[in-house]
């Protein structure tokens, strides 16, 4: 028996049950697996995320809430700050986290007492996802056709970039800024769903208007601007749900799909990269859920045989979902042990190989 097998046998299974408080039922806590080297005492370090903390304790960091379920002080995992102390204890035979707030260091000076600002520990570092919130929108064909597109470049070029001027039909105020969107680019996503993903790739300013024709100066563009580029006022687009504070939570049981890399990414993805998941709220996905990433299954031919053998995809990393549309979701790769390719399988966390 291998050392890994022995470790698996030693792991503790925690099974949550539904609690009834004041007549209100709380959803059952998912079963989780406590890591054999889970720390009994941990001081939250600077730069930590909820995911990195949960990964110290759990095989499935999405089950973070289960470690707090027996703590009477918190109905949900509390807000954590650097310097806080986490203690792993047994409550009724069930491993449970308790919290001791860290002491804030006060700096004394002749004129004032300085109490440093402490940043709350977020699920993932917000700086890694803020630039992508609101970047993508999901539209059906009728909505997309209502958006004007770029007609031509002032210099009759086929493609344009920052500093160029282009023409578009529309009614805007001179000096107004508009957003540039690029449709498509993800041929495998949303197949047969009747919707299309558009991506905000830049912005432009209206310099002149003449009989419904606008001259736009491109202020910035992450992709070439051409006749497929759409022009839109953000205020006239369907409102996006405000990015609520993320909370780690388990992924839906049995979810299985694949991911797509962003066009500006390389041919492979790794930790801290943003990816698109083919599946959204219609499949039960929600912000804060943790999904497993896998390498693609590979067919090999054994010596002396013409029959290929398909090797299962192996666990390649984890991602945290941070924005969800009905049929597609955005996720941040939070860990990876090998390069992740376009179209790689993604699934609810299970074992070490693709279920």
Give the pLDDT confidence of 23-67 residue by residue, as tens digits: 333 334 455 678 999 999 999 999 899 999 999 999 899 999 999
**pLDDT(336) > 80:** yes
Determine the Cα–Cα distance for residues 227 and 188; give it in Å rounded to an integer.
23
Q: State the pTM of this model.
A: 0.76
Q: Greater confidence, 303 or 55?
A: 55
Nearest CA to 355 among 315, 298, 301? Answer: 315
**Same domain for 176 and 268?**
no
pLDDT at 247: 87
- Where are any strands of DSSP class E within 38-126? 41-43, 85-91, 94-100, 107-108, 113-114
Q: Has residue 117 been placed in a domain?
A: no
Report if residue 220 sits inside a domain.
yes
Q: Which of 55, 77, 100 is the last residue of a domain?
A: 100
Are residue 89 and residue 172 in the same domain, yes or no?
no
Point out the least confidently predicted range of 3-17, 54-68, 241-255, 276-290.
Answer: 3-17
Rounded-to-integer distance, Cα 228 and Cα 220, Å: 17
Residue 259 has pLDDT above 70, yes or no: yes
192 plus 228 within the same structural domain: yes
For residues 332 and 300, the answer to whether their CB atoms sit within 8 Å is: no
Please give the share of the chain, as a percent, with pLDDT higher than 70: 79
For residue 66, count CB atoms less than 10 angstroms from its CB and return exposed for 0-12, middle for 13-18, buried for 19 or more: buried
CA pair distance 24, 30, nearest whole angstrom: 18
Could you count the other beta carbons within 10 Å of the beta carbon of residue 348?
A: 19
**Secondary structure (3-state) at 135:** coil
Is the distance from CB of 189 to CB of 278 less than 8 angstroms?
A: yes
* Other CB atoms within 10 Å distance of the CB of residue 139: 19
305 belongs to a structural domain: no
Domain range for residue 331? 256-299+310-347
Residues 223 and 262 in one domain: no
Same domain (yes/no): 207, 266: no
Show the tokens assigned to 81: 């700050």
pLDDT at 129 over 70: yes
The answer to whether residues 67 and 143 belong to one domain is no
Which CATH number does the domain housing residue 199 bear?
2.40.10
Residue 322, helix vs strand vs coil: strand
More reliable by pLDDT, 243 or 295: 295
How far, in Å, CA of 355 to CA of 348, rounded?
9
Mean pLDDT of 3-29: 36
pLDDT greater than 50 at residue 5: no
- Residue 45 belongs to some domain of the structure: yes
- The answer, yes or no, to whether residue 109 has pLDDT greater than 90, is no
The answer to whether residues 283 and 336 belong to one domain is yes
The reply to whether 139 and 225 lie within a common domain is yes
* pLDDT above 90 for 293: yes
Residue 93's pLDDT is: 80
For residue 250, the model assigns a pLDDT of 87
Q: Do 230 and 260 fall within a single domain?
A: no
How high is the pLDDT of residue 238? 67
Is the pLDDT at 215 greater than 50? The verdict is yes
- Is 168 part of a structural domain of the chain? yes
CB 259 within 8 A of CB 277: yes
What token pair was written down for 78? 């509390």
Domain boundary residue, one of 76, 100, 124: 100
Domain count, the chain: 3
Residue 9 placed within a domain: yes
Mean pLDDT confidence for 242-252: 77
Residue 242 pLDDT > 60: no
Whether the Cβ atoms of residue 275 and residue 331 lie closer than 8 Å to each other: yes
Residue 141 is predicted with a pLDDT of: 80
Note whether residue 108 is domain-resident.
Answer: no
Same domain, yes or no: 213 and 275: no
**pLDDT tens-place string over residues 153-188:** 877 776 788 888 999 988 899 999 999 998 876 666
Contact 141, 230 (CB under 8 A): no
Q: What does the mean pLDDT of the chain come to? A: 80
Residues 329-340, mean pLDDT to the nearest whole number? 92
* Whether 264 and 213 share a structural domain: no
Which of 55, 85, 100 corresponds to the end of one domain? Answer: 100
Checking if the pLDDT of 6 tops 80, the result is: no
* Domain-embedded: residue 109: no
Report the pLDDT value the prediction gives residue 180, as an integer from 0 to 100. 94
CATH number at residue 332: 2.40.33
Burial class (CB within 10 angstroms; exposed 0-12, middle 13-18, buried 19+) of 275 = buried
CB 81 within 8 A of CB 87: no
Is 262 found in the same domain as 231?
Answer: no
At 354, the pLDDT band (50, 70, 90 cuts) reads low
Could you give the C-alpha distances from 8 to 12, 36, 59, 195, in angstroms and in order?
9, 8, 11, 44
């Amino acid at each position: 028996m291998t050392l890994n097998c022995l470790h698996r046998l030693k792991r503790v299974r925690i099974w949550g049950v539904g609690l009834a408080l004041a007549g209100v039922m709380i959803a059952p806590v998912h079963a989780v697996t406590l890591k054999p080297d889970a720390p009994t005492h941990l001081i939250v370090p600077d730069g930590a995320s909820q995911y990195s903390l949960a990964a110290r304790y759990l095989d499935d960091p999405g089950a973070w809430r289960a470690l707090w379920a027996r703590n009477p002080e918190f109905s949900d995992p509390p807000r954590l700050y650097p310097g806080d102390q986490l203690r792993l204890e047994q409550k009724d035979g069930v491993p449970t986290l308790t919290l001791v707030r860290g002491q804030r260091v006060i700096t004394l000076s002749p004129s004032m007492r300085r109490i440093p600002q402490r940043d709350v520990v977020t699920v993932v570092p917000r700086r890694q996802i803020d630039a992508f919130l609101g970047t993508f929108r999901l539209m059906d064909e009728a909505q997309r056709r209502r958006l004007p597109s770029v007609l031509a470049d002032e210099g009759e070029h086929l493609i344009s970039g920052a500093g160029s001027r282009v023409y578009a039909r529309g009614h805007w105020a001179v000096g107004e800024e508009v957003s540039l969107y690029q449709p498509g680019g993800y041929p495998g996503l949303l197949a047969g769903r009747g919707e299309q993903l558009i991506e905000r790739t830049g912005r432009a300013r209206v310099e002149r208007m003449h009989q419904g024709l606008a001259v736009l100066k491109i202020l910035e563009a992450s992709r070439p601007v051409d006749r497929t580029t759409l022009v839109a006022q953000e205020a006239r687009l369907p409102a996006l749900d405000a990015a609520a504070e993320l909370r780690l939570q388990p992924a839906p049981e049995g979810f299985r799909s694949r991911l797509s890399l962003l066009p500006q990414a390389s041919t492979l993805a790794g930790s801290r990269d943003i990816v698109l998941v083919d599946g959204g709220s219609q499949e039960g996905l929600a912000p804060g859920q943790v999904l497993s990433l896998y390498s693609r299954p590979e067919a090999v031919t054994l010596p002396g045989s013409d029959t290929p053998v398909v090797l299962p995809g192996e666990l390649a990393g984890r991602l945290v979902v941070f924005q969800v549309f009905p049929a597609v979701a955005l996720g941040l790769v939070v860990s990876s042990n090998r390069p992740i390719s376009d179209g790689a399988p993604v699934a609810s966390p299970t074992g070490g190989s693709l279920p």
